[in-house]
Amino acid sequence: MMTKIELNGFRRALENKAAEIGSGNREGLVIETSSDELDRVQNANDRDYAMSNLERTSNRLGEVRTALQRIGLGTFGICAGCEASITLKRLAAVPWTSYCIVCQEIADREQSADRSEIEVAA
């Protein structure tokens, strides 16, 4: 069982993370223009990187918000898959996680299986 102090610490960390992601999104969308061909290629790569980065950070923002809701609901730190307690060490590293390490690995595997199915279908 987590103490109130620990829980408040995670809440602060998550709120900071949400603010950090929120402010980072706008910077990521700045697209520079250049007349130089090499620069243009580089910018296109940067843009691709920024877009995929943006996709990742918006997913992450969703996870952070969900984690904050879970603090409110009193389910923070409990695995959404198997209801085991997520270790403090894992929460300190990824406070927005909803899963223990075992369920996370299963979810990651299912996700990559889904992706390859889509690729085969396409």
List of residues contacting Zn ion (CB under 5 A)? 79, 81-82, 100, 103
Tell me the three state secondary structure of residue 32: coil
Whether the Cβ atoms of residue 65 and residue 88 lie closer than 8 Å to each other: no
Q: How far is the CB of 86 from Zn ion (least distance, A)?
A: 8
Determine the Cα–Cα distance for residues 54 and 30; give it in Å rounded to an integer. 12
User: Tokens 């595997």 identify what position?
Assistant: 109
We find the least distance from the C-beta atom of residue 85 to Zn ion, in angstroms, to be 9
Instruction: Please say which residue, 61 or 98, places its beta carbon nearer to Zn ion.
Output: 98
CB of 92 to Zn ion, least distance (A): 17
SS3 78: strand
For Zn ion, the closer of residues 17 and 98 by Cβ is 98
Burial class of residue 114 in the structure, from the number of CB atoms within 10 Å of its CB (0-12 exposed, 13-18 middle, 19+ buried): exposed
User: If DSSP codes are grouped into helix, strand and coil, which group holds residue 95?
Assistant: coil
Rounded least distance, CB 90 to Zn ion, Å: 11
Residue (83 or 114) nearer to Zn ion, CB: 83
User: Quick one: 11 or 90, whose CB is closer to Zn ion?
Assistant: 90
